[in-house]
Chain A
C-alpha cells in the first residue's frame, strides 16, 4: 500500500485541494473568518504540493497518473511535466496572495455574495491546475470548460447590467471557443487515435493520411479554442471583463484564465503539432504574424485608455501575444523566454492589478486623470506599481527583462529579425503608455481639496495630511498592501534569481524535451 501522499498521488492532491476548499467554502459560507482561513490553508497546501513536485520532475522526469478511462485510447489522466509545472507554480503561488488580498478588498468594499465569490474562485483554480497537469487534450478540455464556467459568476459579480453583459460576452467568446477546441480535439483523435501530449507532437503521422491543409485548419480551430489567450480579433471580452472586482481581474490576467489560453497554445504548438510539423506547415510564421499584429494594435489601444484597469487589460493582451510570439518563433531561446514570461508576467501584472484595485478600494478613483499626486498619498502601492510597470517594459533589474531578452535572442537566433523589431517596438510602446500614469501619480500637482469635496465626499479625508495614518490604522489596508508588496519584490527577485521555485530550470527542461538533444 503506497503512502497516500507519495509522489505518485501528488498530481491528484493538487486537484483535490481546490475541490476541498470549494466545498469547505460552501459549508462555512455563513462564517466569513472560518471561510477565509479555509481558503488560505487550502491555497497554501496546494502551493506546497505543486512546489514539492518540482525537484522530482527535474530529477526523474514527468509524473503520470491515470484516474479512469474516458474513451478508447483516452484516459482521464494527469501528467506533471516541466511545462505544466511552470503554469501550476504561477497559479498556486499567486492564489495565496490573491486570497489574502481579496479579504482586504472585498471587506473594504463590503461586496455582496462573497461566498459565491470565494467558491467560484476556488473552482477556477481547480480548472487552472487541471489544465496545467492534464495529460491529453480531452482532460484539458474538461478543465478548460470548468475554468470558463466557474469564472462567469466572477465576471458578472457586480450584477449590474454592464457586468452581466460583460459576463455574457465572456461566455460567448470562450464557450464558442470551447466548441472549436472540441471539434479540433475530435479531428485530432480521429486522425491519430490519441490525444496524449507528447514531446515531439503527435500529429506528424497524420500527414500520411490527410493533407496539410486539414492540419492547418485544425490548428486554427485550436487557436480559436484558446480564445482565452485574447489574441486579436478575439480579445474584446478581456477589456469588457474589467467591470469585475479587482481580485477577479487578477485571476483573469495573472493567475489562471488568460495564462490557461497561452499555456494551451504552447501545448498545441509543442506537444500536439511539434516543432518540426509547425515548421513544415509554415504555421510558426502565421502564428507569429498574428501575435505581432496583436502586440502593436493592443499597445495603441492602451495608449488611448484613461481607465486604469482597461489600460492594464490592453497591456495584458499585448504581453500574452508576446508569449505567443516567443513560442511561434520556434527557436529554443525564444520558447524559453515565452515559458519564463508566463510566471514573470503573472507576478508583474498581478502587482499592477492589485495596485489598481487598492487605489479604487481606498480612494474610489478609477481613471488615470483623477490620480494626480496619488503616489504621494499611497507611496507603497504606487511604488509597487512603478516596479510592475517597468517590468512590463522589460527594464532591468526586473523579471520582464529576462524573458524579453530570451525571446529577442531567439528572434536573432532564428534569423527572424522582423519580429525582433516588433519586440523592441512593443517594449517601447509599453513605456509610452505606462509613463504618463507614473508621471500623473507622482509628479502632477495634487488637486485642491475644495474640488474634491464635491466629487468624493466620503473619501476626502485621504487627501489631507493625515492620510498615511488612516491607512495604517486599518488592518484591511494591510491585507491589500502586503500581497502587492510581495509580488513587487518577487518581480525583482525573479530577475536576480530566475531559478526561484525552479522556474528557470523547468523552462530549460521543457525546451530541452521539446527540441530534443539541444
Chain B
C-alpha cells in the first residue's frame, strides 16, 4: 500500500472527479463529504511521501510496472514532495472554506464545481509528481481546462476573462508541447531522467536549443511572467472566491516548479547559466516583473485585483531568484514558491470571507473589518505581514535568502527591486489596514455604524474561519520552523553543480 501512494495520490482524485460528475446530479448530499475525504487522503499520502523522501531519499515509481523510458515513470524527490504537500494542503483547506461561499455564489452548480475542482487538483498533483515531459503536458491541460471552466463560473466579466485566459494559455501550452517535440526529435525520449542523460552531448545542437526556448517561453506564459501576464489579473479577480483561492496561489507556482524542474533536472544547470545564459535574462525579467507588479497593484481599487498583481510581482521574485543562479537564491526561490502559495491563498480566503459578508471584494468593503470581523482581520493581518515580509511570518525568510543570494551574486538591481517592492507592499496593505481599522468619524455620522450598510455584517461562519485561521497559523509556523524545512527539504532541491 505504502509503495503505491504515488499512484493513489493522482488516481483517487481523478476517479472521484468522474464519480461526482456521474452521480452528483442525483445524489447531491454525499458530494461534499466525498470531496473532503479524497482531499484529506491526498494530503495524507503527500505527507507520507514527503516523510519517506526525507527518510529514504527519492522515490521511483513505474506506473503499471512499465519500465522507463517506455512507461510513465514518477520520480519524487524533495522538490516534488513538498509541492505535493503544498497542493494537497491548500486544496483541502480551500475546499472546507468553499462550502459556504459556493452555496452562495454558485447555488445551481455545486456538483459541477466540485467535479471540476477535484479534476483541477488532479492535474496539479499530476504535474508535480510525473517524471515524463509529455505526461506533464497532458496533466497541464487537465489542470488548465478545468481551470478555464472554473474561472468562467465567476462574476459577469469572468466569461470574457476566462476566454482570454483560454486562448493565451493554449498558446503557452502549445509552445511547451512544441519544445517537448523538439527534444523528442533530438533524443527519442520523453522521460526526464533519461533526457538528463542523453542531452548533455547534444547541448550545442540547434534543435535542443530551440526546444528549450519553446519550453521556456511556453512556461513563462503559463506562469504569467511579466510581460506575458496580461491574462492573469482579470481571470483571477473575477473567478468565484473559492476558485481564486486555489487557482491563484497554485497554478503559477506549479508552473514555476516545472520551470525549475526543466532547467535543473532535465537540463544541467550549466546549460542555462553558462551555455545558453538564460539566467541573466531571468534576473532582469524578474526585476521588471517585481517592479511592474508592485506598481500596478498600487493602482487597484479592488482587493482581488490587487492581489493578482501581487502574484505577478511574486513570480518575479521566484524567477529572479532562479536567475541569480546561486545556491542561496535558489533556496530562496524554492522556499518562496511554498511561502507565496501559502500567503496568497490566505489572503484570497480572506477575500472570500469579506465577499461572503459584504458581497464585494473592493478595498472599501474592508471598512470596519477589525470591528465587525475581528478574526478575519487577524487572519488578514498575518497574510498581509507575510507578503510584506515581516518576521516571524514565512515571507520574511524566503525574502532573506533571495536578498542574500542577490548580494552574493552582486545583482544589485534585483536586490533593489525586492526592497522597493517591500515598501510598495507596505503601502498596499496599510491602505487596507486603514480601511479596516479606522471607522471613527468626527462628523455627525454615528461612530461604528454598520460599515457597508449590509444586513449580513458580522464574523464569517466557522467553516470559513477554521481553514483560514489554520492557514494563518501554518504561515507563522513555517516561518518559525523555517530552518527545519530548509535543512530537511529545501537544501536537497538545489541541483548538484551549484
Taking beta carbons and an 8 Å cutoff, which residues of A are in contact with B?
68-72, 76, 112-113, 116, 138, 141-142, 145, 149, 152-153, 156, 158-160, 164, 168, 171, 175-176, 179, 182-183, 186-187, 189-190
Contacts and interface: CB of A to CB of B under 8 A. Distances in A.
29 contacts: A68-B481, A68-B483, A69-B483, A70-B482, A71-B400, A71-B483, A112-B447, A142-B391, A145-B390, A145-B391, A152-B433, A156-B434, A156-B437, A156-B438, A159-B439, A159-B440, A159-B441, A159-B442, A168-B430, A171-B430, A175-B426, A179-B422, A179-B423, A183-B403, A183-B419, A186-B400, A186-B407, A189-B404, A190-B404
A515 B290 CA distance: 46
Nearest to A144: B391
A189 B404 CA distance: 9
Contacts of A182: 403, 419
Interface in B96-153: none
B483 A70 contact: yes
A176 B407 contact: no
B434 A187 contact: no
Interface in B384-435: 385, 390-392, 397, 400, 403-404, 407-408, 415, 419, 422-423, 426, 430, 433-434
Contacts of B434: 156, 164
A189 B441 CA distance: 47
A113 B442 CA distance: 14
Nearest to A141: B391
Given A142-B391, A179-B419, A183-B419, A164 B403 contact: no
Contacts of A186: 400, 403-404, 407
A183 B482 contact: no
B473 interface: no
Q: Which of A72, A158, A175: most chain B Cβ within 10 A?
A: A175
A68 B430 contact: no
B408 A190 contact: yes
B480 interface: yes
A105 B404 CA distance: 47
Contacts of B442: 159-160
Contacts of A153: 437
A156 B392 CA distance: 24
Interface in B437-472: 437-442, 447
A71 B403 CA distance: 13
Contact of A176 (B385, B423, B441): B423
Contacts of B408: 190
B402 to A, nearest CB: 10
Nearest to B403: A186
Interface residues on B, range: 20 to 34
Nearest to B370: A116
A171 B415 contact: no
A66 B79 CA distance: 30
Contacts of A69: 483
What 3 A-B pairs are tightest by C-beta distance, nearest first?
A159-B440, A142-B391, A159-B438
A466 B434 CA distance: 44
Contacts of B415: 183
Contacts of B403: 182-183, 186
Given A70-B482, A149-B390, A183-B419, 19 more contacts: A70-B397, A71-B397, A142-B392, A145-B390, A145-B391, A149-B385, A159-B439, A159-B442, A160-B442, A164-B438, A168-B430, A171-B426, A171-B430, A175-B423, A175-B426, A183-B415, A186-B404, A186-B407, A190-B407
Contacts of B483: 68-72
Contacts of B482: 70
Nearest to B420: A179
A248 to B, nearest CB: 15
Contacts of B392: 76, 142
B301 to A, nearest CB: 18
Contacts of A70: 397, 482-483
Contacts of A168: 430
A168 B423 CA distance: 12
Contacts of B419: 179, 182-183
Contacts of B433: 152
Nearest to B433: A152
Contacts of A141: 391
A205 to B, nearest CB: 18
Contact of B440 (A68, A112, A145, A187): A112
Nearest to A161: B442
Contacts of B437: 116, 153, 156
A76 B397 CA distance: 13
Contacts of A113: 440
Contacts of B439: 159
Nearest to A113: B440
Contacts of B422: 179
Contacts of A142: 391-392
Contacts of B390: 145, 149
A175 B480 CA distance: 22
A144 to B, nearest CB: 10
A265 to B, nearest CB: 21
B426 A187 contact: no
A100 B427 CA distance: 35
A130 to B, nearest CB: 11
A349 to B, nearest CB: 28
Contacts of A72: 483
A358 to B, nearest CB: 24
Contacts of A116: 370, 437
Contacts of A187: 407
A71 B407 CA distance: 16
A116 B441 CA distance: 16
A116 B390 CA distance: 21
A113 to B, nearest CB: 7
A190 B411 CA distance: 14
B214 to A, nearest CB: 37
Contacts of B423: 175-176, 179
Nearest to B390: A145
Contacts of A183: 403, 415, 419
A471 B482 CA distance: 56
Contacts of A190: 404, 407-408
Contacts of B438: 156, 159, 164
A166 B328 CA distance: 39
Nearest to A142: B391
Contacts of A159: 438-442
A52 B245 CA distance: 50
A158 B397 CA distance: 35
A149 B391 CA distance: 12
A176 B424 CA distance: 10
A127 to B, nearest CB: 12
A190 B404 CA distance: 7
A11 to B, nearest CB: 17
A181 to B, nearest CB: 11
A372 B442 CA distance: 30
A182 B483 CA distance: 19
B404 A68 contact: no
Contacts of A149: 385, 390
Nearest to A187: B407
A187 B437 CA distance: 36
A152 B433 CA distance: 10
A434 to B, nearest CB: 33
A373 B465 CA distance: 58
A171 to B, nearest CB: 6
A71 B433 CA distance: 30
A156 B426 CA distance: 16
Contacts of B481: 68
Nearest to B404: A186
A142 B483 CA distance: 16
Nearest to A72: B483
A156 B437 CA distance: 10
